[in-house]
Amino acid sequence: KEEEELQKRFMAPPVTGLRELRRRRRELRSRMELLIMETQGEVCRALAALDPGASFAVDTWERKEGGGGISCVLQDGEVFEKAGVNVSVVFGLLSEEAARQMRSRGKSLKAKDGKLPFCAMGVSSVIHPKNPHVPTMHFNYRYFEIEEADGTKQWWFGGGTDLTPTYLNEEDAVHFHKTLKEACDKHDLKLYPKYKKWCDDYFFIKHRGERRGIGGIFFDDVDSPSKEEVFQFVKSCAKAVVPCYVPIVKRHCHDSFTPEEKLWQQLRRGRYVEFNLVYDRGTKFGLLTPGSRIESILMSLPLTARWEYMHTPPESSKEAEILEVLRNPKDWVH
């Protein structure tokens, strides 16, 4: 009975298998896999309810080196041009390149005969709406575990949720940030300001001198105060995804827009692509992991985007207004 109930909340059977997850349900790995499966289901159902004519294609894939995933993608809807919500649970041996990337972030990884067994799992999503007055949204929550030569395990969590509007709407920005702040504040009042700054710093397109969007929260390599406390924090953040975004979509998905506004959206999406392909660590890690599924990694890219030579919006325009905020991040909640 419990298995049937769980199955209804998921988009597909989990990678590890329900029996196995229930048998090891006290282990954090199993609890995290159940959380990412539930988050995928919640987000897909919420998006499908906003775009009733469209439906998610559900793809289950396996990785021959170990593990697999579930990719759910909605394309060419009335409201969403492309929305993807992916779950992946992969394990095996860390590639040299991936281990190098981690060591460069201060991880001291002691390999046994050059081998590092790892397990990585997460849920990630990028939602590109049709209407330029509805922002793009991205979130990702993940857990990583590595077994070193002496059998000790290093583990950490990472993730975040951030918003990329084409045009600035202060009310939306405040709602989005407040919802994330409430999720963080349940655990520690220091978390939101710290992770908000980290988000602004991380999603920075250096060669453009601007952020990808108006931020949110972002964190990585979090392994304290304890496994249980960090897991509960990540759970609160995952549960905040639907309430921080869905009201904004409802508010604007029927707004009228001009061809000029649509063009500006396409140019902003070009910036989104630049960040993801040049700087994003998750994209890089995925591309460096043997046997990873390229379609799922590049799901974050929009269906359409544009790059115009030397495009500069007129001063004091609504287009210039959003650029100002992308160059100088604001505090939205105080």
- Token pair of 209, please? 């001198």
- Rounded to whole angstroms, the Cα distance separating 297 from 90 reads 13
Short-list 141, 121, 135, CA closest to 83: 135
Question: Annotated catalytic residue: which of 128, 138, 175, 187?
Answer: 138
Q: How many CB atoms lie within 10 A of CB 138?
A: 22
Query: If DSSP codes are grouped into helix, strand and coil, which group holds residue 59?
Result: strand
> Is 138 an active-site residue?
yes
Count CB atoms within 10 A of the CB of residue 306.
16
For residue 290, what are its two tokens? 């043997």
Beta-strand ranges (E) seen in the chain are 57-62, 67-75, 80-93, 117-129, 136-147, 153-164, 204-205, 210-211, 215-222
Rg (CA), the chain: 20
**Residue 214, phi then psi, degrees to nearest 5:** -100, 20
Backbone angles phi, psi at 67, to 5 degrees: 95, -160
225 cis-preceded (ω within 30 degrees of 0)? yes
CA distance 214 to 325: 7
Distance CA 167, CA 97 (A): 39
By annotation, the residues acting in catalysis are 138
